[in-house]
Amino acid sequence: MNTSKVAQTSTASGLKGNRPTQLKRVLGVPFLVLFGLTYMAPVTVFTTYGVVTGVTNGHLPAAYIVALVTMLFTAFSYAHMSRAVPQAGSAYAYTQKAFGSSVGFATGWTLMLDYLFIPMINFMLIGIYLNTQFPGVPAWIFSIVSLALVLGLNVIGIKFIGRLSATVVASSVLMIGIFVALVLNQVFSTDAPSLLAPFSFGVDGLGPIFSGAAILSLSFLGFDAISTLSEDAKNPSKSIPASIVLTTLAGGTIFIIVGWAGALVHPDHTTFTDSDAAGVELMAGVGGVALTAIFVAVYVVGAFGSAMASQASVTRILYSMGRDGLLP
């Protein structure tokens, strides 16, 4: 954008007594980390659990370790760029500053596909899971209602979303904690398998582990969304990079622990009735109907929170592109 035009616009705004459009810097590191974890949705570990357990021949935790190490390189890259370009817009802002508006425009639209498809998937999952509990209500009604609620909550403001993110993450971590505790109680009361066996590479070597890690990288989507909040954050040159790395480490640790606990209680990866619903089978195996019902409820809350965080992120990308004149 032409510097003189920017100056003229700023001057005109000043003469009219209008303040330049800007976001309120209200988010600290704790809120940012919670926002990133909400987007990642800790319960997403159960979405791919059965499939990747099969791919890795029962060595899911080892694959998560490889995925975590790999994703940390990307996290550090985002952290570095967010420090150099502390603006809303994430990868769009970085490419726009580095390569110009044409590449930035293409990157922005490509990036928005991610933030459009993920909420769509979350709304679909909410409808599917709630329909299993209330079969008399069509799944699409649950999806539409949840979409409207997410929109309303985003209108309220980012600080409210930060508080709600804390509730979403807390419920997910609590449910996972109960699951792990029940697993350990069950394992130690029987002939327990080796506690380190799930971390081995198995007889097939690294191939299945790396294949599983490639799929599991999807579980980490969310730490990058923190960079869209650079203009909502206090001291963004420090808080955003720190939050990106902390979120990646926290999410990876949760995934590894769940994968390890699941492998202890269900070491035979070939006996899942439905690999896509392996999480439900795990819950039923250690906690019966009660834990399964809690799991479904928390899963829906997690999907709702992820959709909410995604919608908040895409608004910042649109805001940044509009401010640069690439959108109205």
* Domains of the chain, residue spans: 32-323
Domain 32-323, classified CATH 1.20.1740.10, yes or no: yes
Element containing residue 302 per DSSP (H, E) = helix 278-323
d(CA 238, CA 247): 14
Tokens representing 265?
């209680």
Q: Do the Cβ atoms of 22 and 148 come closer than 8 Å?
A: no
d(CA 318, CA 328): 9
Report which of residues 64 and 87 the model is more confident about: 64
Identify the CA nearest to 275 among candidates 53, 55, 46, 50.
Answer: 50
Instruction: Calculate the dihedral angle through the C-alpha atoms of 56, 60, 66, 69, rounding to the nearest 10 degrees.
Output: 160
Which amino acid belongs to residue 223? Answer: F
Question: Per-residue pLDDT tens for 184-230?
Answer: 888 777 765 667 777 777 667 788 899 999 999 888 888 888 998 89
Decide: pTM greater than 0.85: no
* Mean model confidence pLDDT for the chain: 83
Please give the C-alpha separations between residue 41 and each of 51, 118, 125, 300, 324, in angstroms, as whole numbers: 18, 12, 13, 10, 32
Q: What is the mean pLDDT of residues 13-21?
A: 46
Identify the CA nearest to 180 among candidates 286, 82, 251.
Answer: 286
